[in-house]
Amino acid sequence: MGITPLQLFLQQLTNGLTLGSIYALIALGYTMIYGVIQLINFAHGEVFMVGAYLACSLLIVVSAAIPGLPWVVTLLLCGLGAMAACGLLGIAIERAAYRPIRQAPRLNALITAIGLSFLLQNVIMLIYGATDLQVPSPVPMVRWNVGGITVTVMQLVIWTSGAGLMLGLHVLVMSTRLGKAMRATAQDLTACALLGIPVGRIIATTFAIGSALAAMGGMLFAFHYGTINFHDGYLVGLKAFTAAVLGGIGNIPGAMVGGLVLGLLEGLGAGYLSAQWKNVFAFAILVVLLLCKPTGLLGERVADRA
Partner 1 sequence: MQPAVLNRRILKWSLGAAAALLLPLINPNPYHLDVLTTALLYGLLALGLNLIVGLTGVLHLGYAAFFAIGAYTYGLLSIRLGCPFWLGWIPSAAVAGLFGVALGVPALRVRGDYLAIVTLGFGEIVRITLTNLDRFTGGPNGLVGIAHPVLWTPRGAMDFGVASMPYYYLVCVATALAAGLSVRLSRSRIGRAWIAIREDELAASCAGVPVLELKLAAQGCGGAIAGVAGAIFAAKQGAITPDSFDFILSVMVLAMVVLGGLGSIRGAVIGALLLGSLPELLRGFEQYRMLIFGLSMIIVMRLRPQGLFGGFQRGSRNAAA
State the minimum distance, in angstroms, from the CB of residue 221 to partner 1.
Answer: 21
Closer by beta carbon to partner 1, 81 or else 233: 233
Closer by beta carbon to partner 1, 59 or else 245: 245
User: Contact at 8 Å (CB) between 39 and 244?
Assistant: no
Closer by beta carbon to partner 1, 216 or else 289: 289
State the minimum distance, in angstroms, from the CB of residue 172 to partner 1.
Answer: 26
Closer by beta carbon to partner 1, 256 or else 282: 282
State the minimum distance, in angstroms, from the CB of residue 108 to partner 1.
Answer: 5
- Residues of the shown chain interacting with partner 1 in the complex, contacts defined by CB under 8 A: 38-40, 97, 100-112, 114-123, 125-126, 130, 234, 238, 241, 245, 276-277, 279-280, 283-284, 286-287, 290-291, 294, 305
State the minimum distance, in angstroms, from the CB of residue 306 to partner 1.
Answer: 9
Query: What secondary structure, in 3-state letters, does the chain show?
Result: CCCCHHHHHHHHHHHHHHHHHHHHHHHHHHHHHHHHHCCCCCCHHHHHHHHHHHHHHHHHHHHHHCCCCCHHHHHHHHHHHHHHHHHHHHHHHHHHHHHHHCCCCHHHHHHHHHHHHHHHHHHHHHHHCCCCEECCCCCCCCEEEECCEEEEHHHHHHHHHHHHHHHHHHHHHHHCHHHHHHHHHHHCHHHHHHCCCCHHHHHHHHHHHHHHHHHHHHHHHHHHHCEECCCHHHHHHHHHHHHHHHHCCCCHHHHHHHHHHHHHHHHHHHHHCCHHHHHHHHHHHHHHHHHHCCCCCCCCCCCCCC
Closer by beta carbon to partner 1, 95 or else 170: 95
Distances (CA, A) of 39 to 15, 33, 96, 206: 31, 7, 15, 13
Closer by beta carbon to partner 1, 75 or else 232: 232
State the minimum distance, in angstroms, from the CB of residue 53 to partner 1.
Answer: 16
Closer by beta carbon to partner 1, 161 or else 242: 242
Q: Which amino acid is at 223?
A: F
Closer by beta carbon to partner 1, 20 or else 237: 237
State the minimum distance, in angstroms, from the CB of residue 12 to partner 1.
Answer: 22
CA distance 121 to 236: 13
Distances (CA, A) of 72 to 31, 59, 155, 258: 30, 12, 14, 29
State the minimum distance, in angstroms, from the CB of residue 132 to partner 1.
Answer: 16
State the minimum distance, in angstroms, from the CB of residue 242 to partner 1.
Answer: 9
